[in-house]
Amino acid sequence: MLLEVRDLHVEFHTRDGVAKAVNGVNYSVDSGETLAVLGESGSGKSVTAQAIMGILDMPPGKISGGEILFQGQDLLKLKEEERRKVRGAKMAMIFQDALSSLNPVLSVGEQLGEMFVVHKGMSKKDARAQAVELMDRVRIPAAKERVGQYPHQFSGGMRQRIMIAMALALEPELIIADEPTTALDVTVQAQVMDLLAELQREYNMGLILITHDLGVVADVADNIAVMYAGRIVEKAPVHEIYKAPAHPYTRGLLDSIPRLDQKGQELYAIKGLPPNLLAIPPGCAFNPRCPMAQDVCRTDVPPLYEVTESPAPRSSACHFWKECLHG
Amino acid sequence: MADLSKNDEAVAAALDVPVQRGEPILQVRNLQKHFPLTQGILFKKQVGAVKAVDGVSFDLYQGETLGIVGESGCGKSTVAKLLMNLERATAGEVFYKGQDITKLSGRALKAVRRNIQMVFQDPYTSLNPRMTVGDIIGETFDIHPEVAPKGERRRKVQELLDVVGLNPEYINRYPHQFSGGQRQRIGIARGLALNPEIIICDEPVSALDVSVQAQVINLMEKLQDEFNLSYIFIAHDLSIVRHISDRVGVMYLGKLAEIGTDSEIYDHPTHPYTQALLSAVPVPDPQARANRDRIILTGDVPSPANPPSGCRFRTRCWKAQEKCSTEMPVLAIPERFRGQDTLAAHESACHFAEERDVVHAS
């Protein structure tokens, strides 16, 4: 297994109290696999990713428990210096907003080349040549001429390609993409997602795709982990989950999005609001919004049950997953 | 001056007459907005123009929802501002009940704005953080006191909160005490306060989480039925636009590429840009992903300061020929479909319009 997150807990100490952002997350990714982490804002999907990358702001953040095993080694036990050697070389991250992730006063060539200078000790000239090659690889036209240009001279889609190039520079084994196409227009989004999927196949990388878009997930993912209030509520292969969700939250999400290919009736709406992380409801965090909630849901936190009826490994954190699967 | 204000009064009075269902309430003709590009600091001289909106025409009927879709920079938000007269049009007309609102000012314009309201995209920046919800919604009555007399305002605001599904007791709360979805409800309540006939919604749900989006969409549909509202619904999310719209217009680089009923546009698109746009939308169905008809466009949208000659889409179009660079296609029912009983017979601005079902292809 390339990456395994075990029972990860992250909390933030704020003026108003302790916000429990991640409450016992378990997931794993293998080489060549795409795992989509799906969730709404505040579900803990990005915080988990930041903890994996080791870029969580601490304080106010604090990893209060768990392990992050990368190729069998617990990253949380490494010294910062050793961690830095992993970051960039072995695992890399692509952020949502390419414009604010790139340095506006350095040319893209310098920023791409920096990776080779710092990690591989190359000369500036060699690094620049490598940068051109990288830009070619992510299909930026006229790479040779554009290597000296600055981020503002590129369009949104091209900037995201530069981010992808930067992530790929040292041929990492794992890429974490946090909402990589959310800021892009649909036609450009399709280009960028295709590129990412192709490069992943070519290098046989593991990919963690963090998103809230059920459409993007269906297009590229192998497996899905759905997060709610800092926990994984359902984990399944992508084909299974769309066919029959085993958690009422997943079902609600799928039912609440309008379809492109049919007009449809009134949309199903999940009632209520996402929970306040300072005061997560007792029992199942989803119970105040759940149409299936019973007394047991208000008192007992559901474990991640194995969905035994599925041919592929699959799990759901719902006491009534069976009813949900068949309902 | 006295004459002019008397004229304004007459116009304002004319605007109070309701329009029947099924009649056009808004007629937009050849609307244009060019933003000047200037050079020099002291002696500014115009060196060009960003043609944000460059000849857009459509009708909005009483009680219907017209969706406008397009990518960023296509001019859809500028159209919204022009319809409110928040930006002065460079050319063209917007007829509301027979009055060209691009030419109005003063009291007549105020009367128009009472009937055409707007809901904005970002519920975080469009509500004043220092005002209570009661003041935010009630402020509209300061500007239009004829709608609610002073003594009744508080009750009226509470009524509005109730209508949009918020607790009327929240009237003294501040925006930061609400979630994104609740804030958008406040924005909608403000839009409804003056009993408008038209509400222009500029990306009203794109800042919201998926589970909250559906709540707001359902609310907007309910309000439309209840108050017989006409919506112009501007968004980049094609699935949501299909869900809520009766008719849909597709914009590209300041022009309408295609316009028709939701089924005409989504099931029988004839403009290559619409087809590419639809095929690029990720569909939440992994079964379909292998055999979908995907059209991946190359390149980016050209700059509206220097749009391509002829058809604006030709630089990214796989069908482009000589004719496309010399002759600008007009928005009309393509000749080959004219008079035919087919859903492909709707207005499309392409020389080589051809039906292609990209959504259902499998």
Q: One digit per residue, pLDDT tens: chain B, 362 residues? A: 444 555 666 666 666 666 666 678 999 999 999 998 888 877 778 888 888 999 999 999 998 999 999 888 888 889 999 998 888 999 999 999 888 999 888 888 888 889 999 998 877 788 999 999 999 999 999 888 888 888 888 999 999 999 888 888 889 999 988 888 888 899 999 999 999 999 999 988 887 888 788 888 999 999 999 999 999 999 888 999 999 999 999 999 999 999 999 999 999 999 999 999 998 888 888 777 666 778 888 777 888 888 899 999 999 999 999 999 999 999 999 988 888 888 888 999 999 999 988 877 65
Beta bridge partners of B28: B58, B94
Whole-number pLDDT of residue A36 = 93
Statement to judge: residues B160 and B83 lie in one domain: yes
Q: What is the CATH number of the domain that holds B97?
A: 3.40.50.300
The answer to whether position B304 is within a domain reads: yes
Using a 10 angstrom Cβ sphere, with 0-12 exposed, 13-18 middle and 19 or more buried, the burial of residue B243 is buried
The C-alpha of B47 sits at a distance from chain A's nearest C-alpha, in angstroms, of 20
* CB-nearest partner of A263 from B181, B262, B296: B262
Inter-chain CB proximity B284 and A218 less than 8 Å: yes
* Domain final residue pick, B197, B228, B245: B245
The answer to whether position B362 is within a domain reads: no
Q: What number of CA atoms fall less than 13 Å from residue B299's CA on the CB side?
A: 10
Whole-number pLDDT of residue B273 = 94
Whole-number pLDDT of residue B8 = 67
Contact A117, A127 (CB under 8 A): yes
Statement to judge: residues B137 and B229 lie in one domain: yes
Inter-chain CB proximity B211 and A239 less than 8 Å: no
**Chain A residue set in contact with B, beta carbons under 8 Å:** 40-41, 155-158, 185-191, 193-194, 212-219, 238-239, 242, 252-254, 256-261, 263-264, 266-271, 273-274
The answer to whether position B255 is within a domain reads: no
Contact B175, B119 (CB under 8 A): no
Statement to judge: residues B210 and B278 lie in one domain: no
What's A75's DSSP letter? G
Statement to judge: residues B194 and B292 lie in one domain: no
Statement to judge: residues B300 and B200 lie in one domain: no
**Which tokens belong to B71?**
């990518």
Whole-number pLDDT of residue B2 = 44
Q: Chain B residues with CB inside 8 Å of A247's CB?
A: none
Contact A250, A318 (CB under 8 A): no
Statement to judge: residues B213 and B74 lie in one domain: yes
User: How many Å from the N-terminal Cα to the C-terminal Cα in chain B?
Assistant: 66
The C-alpha of A155 sits at a distance from chain B's nearest C-alpha, in angstroms, of 8
Contact B122, B208 (CB under 8 A): no
The answer to whether position B252 is within a domain reads: no
Statement to judge: residues B62 and B198 lie in one domain: yes
Whole-number pLDDT of residue B152 = 86
Interface with chain A: mutation pick from B76, B177, B205, B210, highest number of A CBs within 10 Å: B210
Whole-number pLDDT of residue A196 = 87
The C-alpha of A258 sits at a distance from chain B's nearest C-alpha, in angstroms, of 6
Q: Chain B residues with CB inside 8 Å of A256's CB?
A: 210-211, 213-214
What is the ipTM score, two decimals? Answer: 0.79
Whole-number pLDDT of residue B270 = 94
* CB-nearest partner of B276 from A156, A187, A194: A187
Question: How many folded domains does chain B comprise?
Answer: 2
Q: Chain B residues with CB inside 8 Å of A214's CB?
A: 210, 284
Statement to judge: residues B280 and B219 lie in one domain: no
Kindly report the pTM of this predicted structure: 0.84
Element at A227 (helix H, strand E):
strand A223-228
The answer to whether position B224 is within a domain reads: yes
Q: For chain A of 327 residues, list the mean pLDDT of each consecutive stretch of 10.
A: 92 88 91 91 89 87 90 89 86 84 90 88 90 88 88 85 88 90 80 86 92 85 92 91 90 87 80 85 91 90 85 88 85
Closest residue in A to B267 (Cα–Cα): A261
Range of the domain at B313: 272-348
Inter-chain CB proximity B218 and A266 less than 8 Å: yes
Closest residue in A to B221 (Cα–Cα): A266
* CB-nearest partner of A186 from B221, B280, B298: B280
Statement to judge: residues B217 and B179 lie in one domain: yes
10 Å Cβ neighbour count for A87? 18
Angle of CA points A234, A207, B72, to nearest 5°: 90
Round to whole Å and give the CA distance between A249 and A85: 39
Inter-chain CB proximity A268 and B214 less than 8 Å: yes
10 Å Cβ neighbour count for B152? 12
Inter-chain CB proximity B300 and A158 less than 8 Å: yes
The answer to whether position B361 is within a domain reads: no
Statement to judge: residues B209 and B128 lie in one domain: yes
Statement to judge: residues B211 and B324 lie in one domain: no
* CB-nearest partner of A41 from B209, B213, B277: B209
Q: Chain A residues with CB inside 8 Å of B72's CB?
A: 156, 185
Statement to judge: residues B72 and B206 lie in one domain: yes
Whole-number pLDDT of residue B1 = 42
The answer to whether position B261 is within a domain reads: no
**Which tokens belong to B125?**
């920046």
Inter-chain CB proximity A253 and B211 less than 8 Å: yes
Whole-number pLDDT of residue B293 = 75
Inter-chain CB proximity B214 and A257 less than 8 Å: yes
Inter-chain CB proximity A267 and B284 less than 8 Å: no
The answer to whether position B97 is within a domain reads: yes
Q: Chain B residues with CB inside 8 Å of A238's CB?
A: 286
